[in-house]
């Protein structure tokens, strides 16, 4: 059994498949417990290899018959697939299998959600549908016939014919099996159309369950904007007659870019002002763009093997961030991306799960859909663009699309287009794909006789499997300010290639103040001996919006670290700086809201750990509460003004401008609630006509421990809306005091609405528990125990979601011996579970170390 003896797969072992697939013909006879899948597949020998061994992947399939060129064959069948002798000439493979979608709780392959059939094949789910060479470098055109007594029958490509109880689809674009999709059910469409740049009209449909029609308009607009943007920015036109999106409630991930038939977690596409927050809207817009952009970066050009996942994901995340920056505010997007990177990718890259952007081995590929592959992968592309410049980037992308359209590619192919366009040698740059860990950049400075010298030293700590690191190419965007606050040297990108390197700036009248790593030009940690006064100076004067925010962030962190490790009071420089910024109405409200934000408690714990101090989650929690209280008191006179300024008196729109105001309003309300015991929040809750205001008010009330009535009313109002009820579950746990969090979460697992087999609901509870840093790490260990119980319970049903939630334990080595012991015991308990999945098994053993 594969699960019992996990095989490690290595990048270096890549071999092409012995056959090409010329055509695939599939027929589905749908039935909840016994769906028949009949395949007719034309194979021909692959001229690139002599190896004619014929192995087809297949898992949990009941083979009914198989034939080669019409003659029945009896393959040798294992838990992973089948093997049979095949001709060294073109032939047709036929097979009939039976599968059980209704009992497919893993949500991989063909499964059912609320009576609807749907699929998720990336990465290796197609093998649960029929026998096939389920690897991304095997590409073919698909024709699909669906027989089923359901009103809507969808697959990839263009519709061919439709009859009573059946439909036929044809996808003319060769694709790997992971992009296959099928949907069948009682769905309604929100329809529109888009005319492409060359004048072709495309039918657009967003398919949802009856009752969700009113949540479609925003997603559809986002889709049209994405289609237009990809034409304008990358010259990419859509290539089918129809584009379908389907919303499904049971989904392991966010969404999936199946050719012409994107499937979305309903939480990532359905939106209405009364049920979705501004943050939901923004995320939905970005995910719709992301999946749509995959049509070129992922589908037309795909990955040779799963080690190359970042080829499509890093690039597509980079493209969707560009899109969001263009649609909204570029500085705000950059800052929120960095907050997210530090919250999710840095802990991964600096802990037991650290792996390169292009991993070199895995047991279960689903465990590598990570922040490193996606978000660091996107940062790597951002660095490349910064190094070669915008024009060369555009030229390289044109060449990439022209040269590799229709191919399954590697990172080598990707870098080669940049080398060909620029004449640069990118072999050192390539280390960003192979070396794991976050580089640290030490900064030293010197000034004499008008010459300012910056000496940068890079260092990356050892990571699992990589004891020694080589220097990487690091683009460091730097600007210099004169002591009076003027910018004397505008942003310049220093290209660092050595372990230690000096850069000089001449002709300066006085020692400047450097602004280093502007726009977060590289995913590194800057280590610089600096003082509070200089940070305050940059907070006041830096012209780079990212770095100005960064200066404030550093001050907040410094003050919180002092407060969490002694009985310090908040730094006056920090309070003064924030006060000045908040008052500055020339600054975007969204930006001011970000300035009021504090570093996350887990981030602070990581920071302390790196400084050689064992973090105490309870002390960190108290420090944050105390700082907020101090901010509230200090800003008391101006908070009502800011709150008033943040009110929107136009009809609700989830655009950047209104969202920014509401974000500032929420930040102000959070502080106000610490002074008025929740009076203002209660008023906002009463008056709220949209979910953003309603939820931020409820959060403040729960924080002030006065929200019981509103919490109950909220449930009553929204009990029939599963996406809002997810928020109801989540918020209570997030806002629970540390010593109560596990108990609150536990009580919620006993609530009749805790439909734990639906990943969204499971994540609402346990994602919130893991996200309540002090609550999860409460010294009782109750949080650890509860999470482990439920991971053990979910694993046999849904290994993928289980494995993902195991990451809550990844930072365990930061904490004190007592907590480490408790977590180790939980990890061992999970590891000892009989028949633990390969997914969870791999994660637990890597985390345990
Ligand atoms: N390709 C999808 C996306 O980035 C993610 C699918 C991941 N699925 C999985 N089972 N790991 O949008
Ligand atoms: Zn993606």
At residue 3, the pLDDT reads 43
Mean pLDDT of the chain: 98
Confidence of residue 1 (pLDDT cuts 50, 70, 90): very low
Q: Which pLDDT tens digit goes with each residue over 360-383?
A: 999 999 999 999 999 999 999 999
Residue nearest to atom 2 of ligand 1 (CA): 256
At residue 494, the pLDDT reads 98
Q: Which ligand is nearest to the CA of 265?
A: 1
Q: Which of 256, 298, 365 to mutate to test the pocket of ligand 1 (most atoms within 8 A of CB)?
A: 256
Q: How far is the CA of 344 from the centre of ligand 1 (A)?
A: 17
Q: Which pLDDT tens digit goes with each residue over 476-527?
A: 999 999 999 999 999 999 999 999 999 999 999 999 999 999 999 999 999 9
- Rounded distance, CA 131 to CA 83, Å? 10
Q: Which ligand is nearest to the CA of 839?
A: 1
Q: Which ligand is nearest to the CA of 123?
A: 1
At residue 567, the pLDDT reads 86
Q: Which of 107, 109, 122 to mutate to test the pocket of ligand 1 (most atoms within 8 A of CB)?
A: 122
Residues 149-164 have a mean pLDDT of: 98
Q: How far is the CA of 257 from the centre of ligand 2 (A)?
A: 7
Residue nearest to atom 1 of ligand 1 (CA): 256
Asked whether 564 and 616 are in contact (CB, 8 A), the reply is yes
The H or E element spanning position 168 is strand 166-175
At residue 738, the pLDDT reads 98
Looking at the CA of residue 125, tell me the nearest atom of ligand 1.
Answer: 10
Q: How far is the CA of 448 from the centre of ligand 1 (A)?
A: 54
Q: Which pLDDT tens digit goes with each residue over 385-415?
A: 999 999 999 999 999 999 999 999 999 999 9
Asked whether 560 and 604 are in contact (CB, 8 A), the reply is yes
Instruction: Decide if pLDDT at 431 tops 70.
Output: yes
- Rounded distance, CA 24 to CA 528, Å? 59
Asked whether 704 and 677 are in contact (CB, 8 A), the reply is yes
Q: What is the secondary structure of 510-552 as a DSSP string? A: SPPEEEESGGG-SS-EEEE---HHHHHHHHHH-SSHHHHHHHH
Q: How far is the CA of 314 from the centre of ligand 2 (A)?
A: 8
Q: Which pLDDT tens digit goes with each residue over 804-814?
A: 999 999 999 99
Q: How far is the CA of 315 from the centre of ligand 1 (A)?
A: 14
Looking at the CA of residue 255, tell me the nearest atom of ligand 1.
Answer: 12
Would you state the torsion angle of the CA atoms of residues 810, 815, 821, 822, taken in this order, to the nearest 10 degrees?
A: -70
Residues 162-191 have a mean pLDDT of: 98
Q: Which pLDDT tens digit goes with each residue over 437-489?
A: 999 999 999 999 999 999 999 999 999 999 999 999 999 999 999 999 999 99
Cα distances (angstroms) measured from residue 732 to each of 545, 698, 701, 737: 34, 9, 11, 10
Residue nearest to atom 5 of ligand 1 (CA): 256
Asked whether 764 and 805 are in contact (CB, 8 A), the reply is no
Write out the catalytic residue numbers.
291
Q: Which pLDDT tens digit goes with each residue over 595-649?
A: 999 999 999 999 999 999 999 999 999 999 999 999 999 999 999 999 999 999 9
Looking at the CA of residue 108, tell me the nearest atom of ligand 1.
Answer: 10
Parallel, antiparallel or unpaired: strands 487-496 and 474-481: antiparallel
At residue 7, the pLDDT reads 87
Q: Which of 253, 262, 371 to mutate to test the pocket of ligand 1 (most atoms within 8 A of CB)?
A: 253
Residue nearest to atom 3 of ligand 1 (CA): 256
Q: How big is the chain by its Cα radius of gyration, in Å?
A: 27
CA 190 from centroid of its chain's CA atoms: 27
Q: Which pLDDT tens digit goes with each residue over 283-297?
A: 999 999 999 999 999
Residue 210: count other Cβ atoms within 10 Å of its Cβ: 8
Q: Which ligand is nearest to the CA of 262?
A: 1
Q: How far is the CA of 223 from the centre of ligand 1 (A)?
A: 19
Residue nearest to atom 8 of ligand 1 (CA): 122
Residue 720: count other Cβ atoms within 10 Å of its Cβ: 8
Residue nearest to atom 11 of ligand 1 (CA): 366
Confidence of residue 114 (pLDDT cuts 50, 70, 90): very high
Q: Which ligand is nearest to the CA of 317?
A: 2
Looking at the CA of residue 287, tell me the nearest atom of ligand 1.
Answer: 12
Residues 196-210 have a mean pLDDT of: 98
Asked whether 594 and 754 are in contact (CB, 8 A), the reply is no
At residue 529, the pLDDT reads 84
Q: How far is the CA of 838 from the centre of ligand 1 (A)?
A: 18
Q: Which pLDDT tens digit goes with each residue over 662-702?
A: 999 999 999 999 999 999 999 999 999 999 999 999 999 99
Parallel, antiparallel or unpaired: strands 35-45 and 152-155: unpaired
At residue 379, the pLDDT reads 99
At residue 202, the pLDDT reads 99
Looking at the CA of residue 252, tell me the nearest atom of ligand 1.
Answer: 10
Looking at the CA of residue 290, tell me the nearest atom of ligand 1.
Answer: 12
Contacts of residue 677, defined as CB under 8 A and 6 or more positions apart, other chains included, come to 704, 706
Q: How far is the CA of 315 from the centre of ligand 2 (A)?
A: 9
Identify the three-state secondary structure at position 647: coil
At residue 6, the pLDDT reads 59
Show the 3-state SS of 544-581. CHHHHHHHHHHHHHHHHHHHHHCCCCCCHHHHHHHHHH
Ligand 1 pocket, Cβ-based, cut-off 6 angstroms:
122-123, 252-253, 255-257, 290-291, 313, 366, 369, 800
At residue 436, the pLDDT reads 98
C-alpha closest to that of 691 among 267, 66, 147, 113:
267
Q: How far is the CA of 794 from the centre of ligand 1 (A)?
A: 20
At residue 822, the pLDDT reads 99
């Amino acid at each position: 059994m594969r699960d019992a003896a996990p095989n490690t797969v290595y990048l270096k072992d890549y071999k092409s498949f012995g056959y090409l697939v010329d055509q695939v013909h599939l027929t589905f006879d749908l039935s909840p417990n016994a769906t028949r899948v009949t395949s007719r597949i034309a194979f021909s020998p692959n001229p690139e290899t002599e190896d004619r061994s014929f192995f087809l992947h297949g898992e949990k399939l009941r083979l009914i018959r198989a034939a080669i060129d019409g003659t029945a064959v009896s393959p040798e069948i294992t838990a992973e697939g089948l093997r049979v002798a095949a001709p060294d000439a073109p032939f047709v493979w036929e097979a009939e299998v039976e599968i059980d979608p209704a009992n497919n709780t893993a949500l991989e392959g063909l499964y059912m959600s609320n009576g609807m059939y749907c699929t998720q094949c990336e990465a290796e789910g197609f093998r649960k549908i029929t026998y096939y060479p389920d690897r991304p470098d095997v590409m073919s055109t698909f024709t699909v016939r669906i027989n089923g007594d359901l009103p809507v029958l969808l697959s990839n490509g263009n519709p061919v014919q439709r009859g009573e109880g059946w439909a036929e689809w044809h996808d003319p674009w060769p694709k790997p099996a992971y992009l296959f999709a099928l949907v069948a059910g009682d769905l309604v469409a929100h329809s529109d159309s888009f005319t492409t740049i060359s004048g072709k009209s495309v039918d657009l449909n967003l398919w949802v369950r009856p009752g969700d029609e009113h949540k479609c308009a925003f997603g559809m607009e986002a889709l049209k904007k994405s289609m237009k943007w990809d034409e304008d920015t990358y010259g990419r036109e859509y290539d089918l007659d129809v584009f379908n999106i389907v919303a499904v409630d049971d989904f392991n991930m966010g969404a999936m870019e199946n050719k012409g038939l994107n499937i979305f977690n309903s939480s990532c596409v359905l939106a209405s002002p009364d049920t979705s927050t501004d943050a939901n809207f923004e995320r939905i817009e970005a995910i719709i763009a992301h999946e749509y952009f995959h049509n070129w970066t992922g589908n037309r050009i795909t990955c040779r093997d799963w080690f190359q996942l970042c080829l499509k994901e890093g690039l597509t995340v980079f493209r969707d961030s560009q899109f969001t920056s263009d649609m909204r505010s570029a500085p705000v997007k950059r800052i929120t991306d960095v907050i997210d990177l530090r919250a999710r990718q840095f802990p991964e890259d600096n802990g037991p799960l650290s792996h390169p952007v292009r991993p070199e081995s895995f047991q279960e590929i689903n465990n590598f859909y990570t922040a490193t592959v996606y978000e660091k992968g996107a940062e790597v592309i951002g660095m490349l663009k910064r190094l070669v410049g915008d024009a060369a980037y555009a030229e390289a992308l044109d060449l990439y699309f022209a040269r590799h359209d229709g191919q399954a590619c590697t990172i080598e192919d990707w870098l080669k287009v940049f080398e060909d366009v620029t004449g640069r040698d990118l072999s050192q740059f390539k280390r960003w794909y192979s070396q794991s860990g976050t580089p640290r950049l030490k900064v030293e400075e010197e000034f004499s006789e008008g010459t300012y010298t910056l000496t940068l030293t890079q260092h990356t700590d050892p990571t699992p499997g990589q004891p020694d690191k080589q220097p990487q190419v690091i683009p460091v965007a730097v600007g210099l300010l004169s002591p009076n606050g003027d910018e004397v040297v505008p942003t310049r990108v220093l290209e660092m290639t050595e372990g230690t390197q000096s850069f000089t700036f001449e002709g300066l009248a006085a020692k400047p103040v450097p602004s280093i790593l502007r726009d977060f030009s590289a995913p590194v940690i800057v280590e610089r001996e600096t003082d509070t006064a200089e940070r305050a100076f940059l907070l006041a004067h830096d012209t780079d919006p990212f770095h100005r925010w960064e200066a404030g962030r550093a001050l907040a962190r410094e003050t919180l670290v002092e407060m969490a490790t002694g009985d310090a009071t908040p730094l006056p420089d920090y309070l003064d700086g924030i006060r000045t910024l908040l008052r500055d109405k020339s600054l975007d409200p969204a930006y001011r809201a970000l300035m009021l934000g504090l570093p996350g408690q887990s981030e602070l714990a990581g920071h302390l750990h790196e400084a050689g101090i064992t973090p105490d989650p309870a002390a960190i929690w108290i420090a944050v509460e105390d700082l907020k209280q101090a901010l509230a008191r200090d800003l008391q006179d101006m908070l009502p003004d800011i709150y008033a300024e943040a009110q929107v008196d136009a009809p609700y729109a989830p655009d950047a401008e209104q969202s920014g105001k509401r974000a500032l309003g929420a930040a102000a309300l959070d502080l106000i609630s610490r002074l008025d015991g929740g009076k203002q929040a209660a008023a906002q809750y009463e008056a709220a006509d949209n979910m953003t205001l309603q939820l931020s008010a409820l959060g403040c009330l729960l924080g002030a421990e006065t929200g019981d009535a509103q919490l109950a009313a909220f449930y009553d109002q929204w009990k029939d809306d599963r996406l809002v009820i997810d928020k109801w579950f989540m918020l209570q746990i997030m806002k629970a005091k540390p010593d109560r969090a596990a108990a609150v979460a536990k009580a919620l697992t006993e609530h009749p609405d805790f439909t734990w087999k639906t990943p969204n609901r499971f994540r609402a509870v346990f994602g919130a528990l893991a996200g309540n840093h002090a609550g999860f790490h409460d010294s009782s260990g109750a949080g650890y125990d509860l999470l482990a119980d439920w991971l053990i319970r979910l694993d046999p049903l849904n290994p993928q979601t289980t494995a993902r939630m195991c990451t809550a334990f990844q930072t365990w080595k930061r904490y004190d011996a007592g907590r480490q012991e408790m977590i180790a015991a939980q990890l061992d308990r999970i590891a000892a579970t009989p028949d633990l999945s390969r997914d969870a098994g791999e994660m637990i053993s890597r985390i345990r170390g």
